[in-house]
């Protein structure tokens, strides 16, 4: 038996582990599939991480090291090269690695921190051949930054998410020619700073409202046909243009990696692709918490660390609670959950796509995170209870690529039974 | 008077900045929400600078992540890449260790630990 098992040793898992330790939990185990801690940060060698959390600009590996160092100094045990096979609602974990074979761990609490993965070509329905030379942007990033291979010389990138933009610069620096970045939407999903420093700095064209409509080449990619799309995102035939290239990178979205959560019967949010959670990041399964990109895809790792710290602190609280309830140890699996004070569900108006958390079970000071569905200028976000606005904030702009947040005081939640978030366009 | 529009790259906010210039002289900066944004805009129109992040080959054939420890002139970025790529790091290397000195006013330092 282990008090707290954390699945995933990336930024979320490490931050959750440190927070749980700081809240008095000593019996912690991190399970990591890779041979090293750090998760995706290991291959994010560019800078821009840590401005919120540490007040300085770090590269991905440097940011990861800040946490790995703490995990090591605190002596928190880590099993590397270990793949979790299943998680049960009773918090029984089955995992495997080369040394121990298949083994099980009973956990007092579990934190899910498995991160996300990239949407593949198969999810896009691009017609054409299936030659070599088509990579997800993150795969190309791993090849260049961790393995030291440049996967191609003449590159087209589909999708202007941050990883696509970062890879446009990275491939250029290493001597490749990036001919275009095509974006289906009329705006980029990436941060404005990345358009500036990754594309504009190198005169790489960003083709908005464009997509790849055909892929050419037998063994190796020889070129792609791109076209402008209309307002319904349908390609316009007469705008077809052939671009010779040997490499196509796809940066078309990230999907939380929730196979284990689904096995555990955890209730999911269809919009985020992650679990439904309360203010403590507890899922519908008592004692199972979720944080980081497995919960919802973040733009900034700093916010992943913050969210994971909430999950770590809450898991510590849960462990203390079940210890008091059941004497020492956990005894039977079916311990009661910490009693809920309230059950406030949070709904949105569609202009706001989702919130995390999606419900509030205890009145405490919280921060609501949310994303909007479109690009807006000059808006007011209303927090509505029982038809009345109880709190509102103005924003000069809001965009789908940039996560927003609103802090809420516990006192504001007094007597509230449901919350709704609405976006008003002030024009 | 000429106007230059740019996106600040100092932090993820990505403020839209406007710089008004008279010849080489900066007359006004607007759109920034912090002091660092104003300093960026000033530098961007006079002597644009960038921090370079890349990888360096190690003596065991692996690659190691590195960066310039301060921004260098933007025009020297590709020359800086050539210097990094011409060099081999001797393992072991500790995070923060200087691997190459005096590269366009910066040092190339390791951004990760690597054992032999």
* DSSP annotation string for A250-310: E---EEE--HHHHHTT--B-TTTSSB---TT-B-SSTTEEE-GGGTS--S-HHHHHHHHHH
Does residue A333 carry a pLDDT above 50? no
Helix (H, G, I), strand (E, B) or coil at A237: helix
What is the rounded average pLDDT for all residues in chain A?
94
Residues A159 and A242 in one domain: yes
How many interface pairs between A and B have CB atoms less than 8 angstroms apart? 74
Give chain B's length: 116
Residues A424 and A316 in one domain: no
Residues A28 and A59 in one domain: yes
Of A86-90, A320-324, A373-377, minimum mean pLDDT range: A320-324
d(CA A199, CA A204) in angstroms, rounded, equals 5
Look at residue B70 in the predicted model and tell me its pLDDT.
Answer: 95
The label of the residue with tokens 């990178």 reads A249
Residues A223 and A288 in one domain: no
Residues A259 and A272 in one domain: yes
Partner-chain residue, chosen from A45, A51, A57, that has the shortest CB–CB distance to B55: A45
Q: How far apart are the first and last CA of chain A?
A: 58
Q: Which two tokens stand for residue A375?
A: 């690009």
A226 strand-pairing partners? A212, A241
Residues A170 and A207 in one domain: yes
A148 vs B: CB within 8 A:
yes
Partner-chain residue, chosen from B50, B74, B112, that has the shortest CB–CB distance to A61: B112
Residues A192 and A263 in one domain: no
**Segments forming the whole domain that contains residue A266:** 2-117+255-338
Q: Could you count the other beta carbons within 10 Å of the beta carbon of residue B56? A: 22
Partner-chain residue, chosen from B8, B61, B112, that has the shortest CB–CB distance to A65: B112
CA distance A388 to chain B (A): 31
Residues A259 and A236 in one domain: no
- Which pLDDT tens digit goes with each residue over B69-101? 999 999 999 999 999 999 999 999 999 999 999
Look at residue A103 in the predicted model and tell me its pLDDT.
Answer: 98
Pairing of strands B72-73, B49-50: antiparallel
Residues A32 and A80 in one domain: yes
CB pair distance less than 8 Å for A45 and B54? yes
CB pair distance less than 8 Å for A191 and B12? yes
> For the domain that residue A104 is a member of, what is the CATH number?
3.50.50.60
> For the domain that residue A389 is a member of, what is the CATH number?
2.60.40
Partner-chain residue, chosen from B53, B81, B113, that has the shortest CB–CB distance to A46: B53
d(CA A228, CA A207) in angstroms, rounded, equals 8
Of A6-10, A173-177, A192-196, A247-251, minimum mean pLDDT range: A192-196
Q: How far apart are the first and last CA of chain B?
A: 58
Task: Enter the pTM of the model.
Answer: 0.94
Q: Which two tokens stand for residue A362?
A: 């205890």
Look at residue A331 in the predicted model and tell me its pLDDT.
Answer: 46
**Domain end point (choices A317, A338, A359):** A338
Q: Which two tokens stand for residue A182?
A: 């095509």
- Dihedral angle of Cα A96, A98, A103, A106, to the nearest 10 degrees: -70
Residues A125 and A241 in one domain: yes
**Domain end point (choices A308, A338, A368):** A338
Q: Which two tokens stand for residue A222?
A: 């020889």
Does ipTM top 0.90?
A: yes
Residues A16 and A40 in one domain: yes
- Which pLDDT tens digit goes with each residue over A28-64? 999 999 999 999 999 999 999 998 899 999 999 999 9
- Which pLDDT tens digit goes with each residue over A290-301? 999 999 999 999
What's the average model confidence in pLDDT over A247-255?
A: 95
Number of domain units in chain A: 3
Domains assigned to chain B: 2-46 (no CATH), 53-110 (3.10.530)
d(CA A337, CA A239) in angstroms, rounded, equals 59
A11-22 vs A301-325: helix axis angle to the nearest 10?
Answer: 40
Residues A66 and A214 in one domain: no
Look at residue A421 in the predicted model and tell me its pLDDT.
Answer: 97
A143 vs B: CB within 8 A:
no
d(CA A116, CA A258) in angstroms, rounded, equals 8
CB pair distance less than 8 Å for A193 and B77? no
**Domain end point (choices A338, A368, A384):** A338
Look at residue A327 in the predicted model and tell me its pLDDT.
Answer: 61
């Amino acid at each position: 038996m282990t008090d707290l098992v954390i699945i995933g040793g990336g930024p979320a898992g490490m931050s959750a582990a440190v927070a749980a330790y700081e809240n008095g939990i000593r019996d912690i185990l991190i399970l990591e599939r890779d041979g090293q801690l750090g998760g995706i940060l290991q291959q994010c060698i560019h800078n821009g991480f840590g401005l919120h959390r540490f007040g300085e600009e770090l590269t991905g590996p440097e940011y990861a090291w800040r946490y790995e160092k703490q995990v090591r100094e605190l002596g928190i045990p880590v099993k590397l090269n270990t793949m979790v096979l299943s998680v049960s609602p009773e918090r029984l974990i089955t995992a495997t690695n080369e040394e121990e074979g298949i083994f099980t761990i009973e956990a007092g609490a579990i934190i899910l921190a498995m991160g996300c993965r990239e949407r593949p070509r198969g999810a896009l329905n691009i017609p054409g051949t299936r030659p070599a030379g088509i990579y997800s942007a993150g795969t190309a990033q791993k090849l260049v930054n961790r393995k030291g291979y440049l996967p191609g010389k003449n590159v087209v990138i589909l999708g202007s998410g941050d990883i696509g933009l970062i890879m446009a610069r990275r491939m250029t620096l290493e001597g490749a020619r990036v001919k275009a970045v095509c974006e289906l939407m009329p705006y980029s999903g990436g941060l404005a700073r990345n358009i500036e420093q990754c594309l504009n700095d190198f005169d790489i064209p960003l083709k908005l409202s464009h997509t790849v409509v055909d892929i050419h080449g037998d063994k190796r990619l020889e070129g792609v046909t791109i076209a402008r799309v209309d307002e319904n995102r349908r390609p316009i035939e007469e705008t077809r243009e052939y671009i010779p290239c040997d490499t196509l990178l796809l940066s078309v979205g990230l999907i939380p990696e929730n196979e284990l959560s689904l096995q555990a019967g955890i209730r999911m949010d269809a919009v985020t692709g992650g679990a439904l959670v309360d203010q403590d990041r507890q899922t519908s399964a008592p004692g199972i918490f979720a944080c980081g990109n497995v919960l919802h895809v973040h733009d900034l790792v700093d916010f992943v660390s913050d969210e994971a710290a909430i999950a770590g602190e809450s898991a510590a609280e849960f462990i203390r609670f079940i210890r008091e309830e059941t004497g020492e140890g956990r005894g039977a699996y079916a311990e009661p959950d910490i009693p809920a004070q309230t059950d406030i569900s949070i709904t949105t108006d569609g202009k706001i796509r989702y919130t995390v958390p999606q419900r509030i079970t205890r009145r405490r000071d919280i921060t609501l995170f949310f994303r909007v569905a479109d690009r807006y200028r000059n808006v007011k976000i209303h927090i509505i209870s029982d038809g009345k606005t109880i709190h509102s904030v103005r924003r000069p702009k809001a965009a789908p690529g940039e996560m927003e947040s609103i802090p809420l005081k516990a006192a504001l939640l007094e007597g509230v039974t449901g919350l709704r978030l609405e976006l008003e366009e002030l024009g | 008077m000429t106007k230059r529009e740019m996106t600040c790259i100092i932090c993820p906010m990505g403020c839209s900045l406007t710089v008004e210039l008279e010849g080489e002289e900066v007359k006004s900066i607007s759109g920034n929400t912090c002091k660092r944004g104003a300093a960026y805009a000033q530098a961007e129109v006079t002597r644009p600078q960038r921090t370079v992040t890349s990888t360096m080959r190690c003596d065991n054939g692996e690659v190691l992540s590195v960066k310039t420890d301060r921004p260098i002139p933007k025009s020297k970025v590709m020359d800086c890449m050539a210097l990094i790529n011409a060099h081999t790091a001797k393992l072991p290397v500790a995070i923060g260790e200087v691997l190459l000195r005096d590269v366009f006013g910066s040092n190339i330092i390791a951004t990760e630990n690597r054992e032999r």
